Amino acid sequence: MKAREPIENSQAGNDAHILRAQESKNGGRGNVRRQHRTIKGVALATAVVAGLLPMRPAAQGAGRGQGPKIARIDPIRGNLYWITEGTGGPGASNLAVLVTDHGVVLVDTKNPGWGPETRRLIGTVTDRPVTTIINTHTHRDHTGSNTEFPAGTEFVVHENTRANLSKEICDRLANCGFLSGAKASYLPRKTFQDRMTIGSGQDRVELFNFGPAHTSGDTIVLFPAARTAHFADLFARKALPNIMTTDGGSILGHLHTLDRALATLKNVDTVITGHGTSLLAWQDFEEFVRMNHEFVTAAQAGMKAGKRADDVAADITALLAQHYPGYTIAPAKATENVALVYEEIYHSGHYVH
Ligand SMILES: [Zn+2]
Ligand SMILES: [Zn+2]
């Protein structure tokens, strides 16, 4: 597992998701070399699956869960705060903290090992305990520290994220298998399908899911009183999206989710991204939606014209880099996502209109 670290860290401006997506997509070049480098990791994973080794938090977070935990908590508006590492580095996910009359509602928990530091940061703005944790999706950098909070904490997730967390076997990033045995009480009991409201007045939180996108169970968290929305990895940063098909994600579904969010969420000024280094504005989200439309439209046009996905990706990379300064348009991600558009349109039998 350690062998992966250098590859992940070399993906500047992107996060851990990319590596896995590349591994699953990249059947050819570089595959043999990677196999050699991960033999140890595979053997370890197999031993864990077989129940030969305990999945200790330290082992789970090897490499990333260790080392100094440096993050900060900043106010957004009213009783809403956010926690960010401010680095945009691999796995550096952003959290939302709502201090309510009944306790703290926390959105996401970062990688394993971050529980104590997250509680310490929250303790600098309130004496109230964390009573509710919303996980935006299954990935380890968003659920990794769930079990480092008290056992009585209420966990809220989309029903498909509960299913993803309940799997016995999954990819390392998807973070399943750690909520069994003594930790079974941490398996989220409160789930929703399309929409859920928690609390009222200043403490009201609205959860939305518009279908498969980054994964099969993404949650957009809206804080109406603070006019703020947390999009997590649906809008991870100003970059092409990571679509995790092994966790039920869909690139056309992602575009649909963005459209629905744009039409449904009202009176939002501030946007929290999954991994960005600063808060963004609603206009940034609108720009992100435009960028994604342009991407899918161009990919589809290339498909209609009978062009190879690789050639179309190169054209799109150049086009978007020009149209969206400030965005990271990684050629490898463009290639991967164009291939996803081709695949999904081919399977559905219909172009996107
Ligand atoms: Zn993710
Ligand atoms: Zn993430």
Domains of the chain: 2-60 (no CATH), 72-249+265-280 (3.60.15.10)
Strand 95-100 versus strand 280-281 pairing type? unpaired
What is the C-alpha separation between 214 and 328, in angstroms, rounded? 18
Q: Any idea which ligand is nearest the CA of 89?
A: 2
Q: Which single residue is written with the structure tokens 């940034």?
A: 284
Measured in residues, the chain has a length of: 353
Task: Please tell me the distance between residue 110's alpha carbon and the centre of ligand 1 in angstroms.
Answer: 11
What is the C-alpha separation between 263 and 233, in angstroms, rounded? 19
Task: Please tell me the distance between residue 232's alpha carbon and the centre of ligand 1 in angstroms.
Answer: 8
- Residue 25 contacts residue 336 (beta carbons within 8 Å): yes
Q: Any idea which ligand is nearest the CA of 175?
A: 1
Q: Any idea which ligand is nearest the CA of 94?
A: 2
DSSP codes of every residue in 234-262: GG-SSBPPP--GGGT--HHHHHHHHHHHH
Q: Any idea which ligand is nearest the CA of 216?
A: 1
Task: Please tell me the distance between residue 308's alpha carbon and the centre of ligand 2 in angstroms.
Answer: 30
The number of beta carbons lying within 10 Å of the beta carbon of residue 85 is 19
Give the H or E element holding residue 336: helix 331-348
Q: What is the pLDDT of residue 109?
A: 98
Task: Please tell me the distance between residue 233's alpha carbon and the centre of ligand 2 in angstroms.
Answer: 5
- Residue 305 contacts residue 312 (beta carbons within 8 Å): no
Dihedral angle computed from the Cα positions of residues 332, 299, 238 and 214, in that order, rounded to the nearest 10 degrees: -80
Q: For the whole model, what pTM was predicted? A: 0.83
Task: Please tell me the distance between residue 92's alpha carbon and the centre of ligand 2 in angstroms.
Answer: 8
Q: Which single residue is written with the structure tokens 């996980």?
A: 135
What is the C-alpha separation between 213 and 257, in angstroms, rounded? 7
Q: What is the pLDDT of residue 66?
A: 64
pLDDT tens, N- to C-terminus, the chain (353 residues):
333 333 223 333 344 443 343 333 333 333 333 333 333 333 334 433 333 333 333 333 334 546 789 999 999 999 999 999 999 888 999 999 999 999 999 999 999 999 999 999 999 999 999 999 999 999 999 999 999 999 899 999 999 999 999 999 998 899 988 888 888 899 999 999 999 999 999 999 999 999 999 999 999 999 999 999 999 999 999 999 999 999 999 999 999 999 999 999 999 999 999 999 999 999 999 999 999 999 999 999 999 999 999 999 999 999 999 999 999 999 999 999 999 999 999 999 999 88
Task: Please tell me the distance between residue 304's alpha carbon and the centre of ligand 1 in angstroms.
Answer: 31
Task: Tell me the torsion sign for CA atoms 34, 37, 42, 43.
Answer: positive
